[in-house]
Amino acid sequence: MKKHLLFLWLATIILGSTSSAQVLSKKDRLFGASAAISFGSDNNVPANTFPDQHSNNVAFIPSFAWVIKDNLAAGIKGNLSYVRIVGKNPAQKTVYTTLEAGPEFFIKKYRALKDRFGVFFNHGLDVHYTRQTGKFNQDFSKTTIWGGGYNFTPGAFYKFSERFLGEATIGGLSLDYSDNAGMKSFNAGASFLNYFNIGIQYIIPGKRS
C-alpha cells in the first residue's frame, strides 16, 4: 500500500511539472519492442510449505503504433510472457509454469518534462491465451485459460535522437476477466514497483502536407 501511495504522490508532482513540448508529430509511426525479466526467491521461511522457492519471469512485447495526434499514439502490441516457479522442501518438489500470449490494443499519451525526458500513460485492452502446467513430484496437470482485460501503465521515456525513443515502466493497474473451463472470474490488481520493463521505439516520420 505504501508503494502505491508513493507512486501516486510522485505522479502528482510529475503531472504538475509537465511542459507542452512536442515529442511526436501527427502521422509519425512507431515500431519497437520491450522486454522484462525478473527473478525472485523466498528461502527459509518457516511458515512456507516450500521454504526453498524460486520464480523466473520473462516477457517480450513487440509493438506498432500510429501517431493520431501530436504526442498521442494508438497501436497494437503482441504480448508473450513465461513464468516458472519452483518450490522445494526435503520431501517434495513442485514446478509451475505459465505461458501467456495475445494481442493488446492501446492508446499512449506522451508528455515532456525537460529537454528529451518525459513520461507517458498507456491505456490498453487485451485478449490473452494462457497455458498453465504443474508438476507435483510425479503428478502432472495442465490448464488452459482464455481471458481479456484493461490495464493502465505509466512510464518514463528518453528521446535519444529524432528517430529513437527509449521507454521504461515499473508496473501499473489492471482489470482482468478469465474463463477456465467454464469457471469465470474477474480480478483487479496493482503491480507498481514489482517488475521493470524496458524497450525502445523507432520513429518513422510521417508525410507532412
DSSP 7-72: HHHHHHHHHHT-----SS-TT-EEEEEEEEEEEEEEES-TT-SSSEEEEEEEEEEEEEEEEEETTE
Question: In terms of residue numbers, what domain contains 123?
Answer: 2-204
Total H helices, total E strands in the chain: 1, 10
Residue 94 lies in a domain: yes
Residue 38 lies in a domain: yes
Residue 209 lies in a domain: no
* pLDDT for res 115: 82
Q: Is the pLDDT of residue 4 over 50?
A: no
Q: What is the C-alpha to C-alpha distance for residues 170 and 84, in angstroms, rounded to an integer? A: 20
Residue bearing the bigger pLDDT, 181 or 176: 176
Nearest to 32 by CA among 166, 124, 127, 160: 166
Q: Is the pLDDT of residue 156 over 70?
A: yes
Q: Is the pLDDT of residue 19 over 60?
A: no
Report whether 17 contacts 178 (CB < 8 A).
no
Looking at residues 60-85, what average pLDDT do you find? 94
Kindly indicate the confidence band of residue 162, based on its pLDDT and cuts at 50, 70 and 90. Answer: very high
| Count: domains in the chain | 1
Residue 111 lies in a domain: yes
* pLDDT for res 181: 80
Kindly indicate the confidence band of residue 199, based on its pLDDT and cuts at 50, 70 and 90. Answer: very high
Q: What is the C-alpha to C-alpha distance for residues 174 and 208, in angstroms, rounded to an integer? A: 37
Could you give the C-alpha distances from 187 to 166, 174, 190, in angstroms and in order? 31, 8, 10
Model confidence, pTM: 0.77
pLDDT tens-digit map of 90-145: 677 888 899 999 999 999 999 999 888 999 999 999 999 999 998 877 788 889 99
* pLDDT for res 201: 96
According to DSSP, the residues that pair with 60 across neighbouring strands are 35, 80
pLDDT tens-digit map of 26-71: 999 999 999 987 765 554 444 455 555 667 788 899 999 999 999 9
Domain containing residue 106: CATH number: 2.40.160.20
Residue 151 lies in a domain: yes
* Average pLDDT taken over every residue of the chain: 83
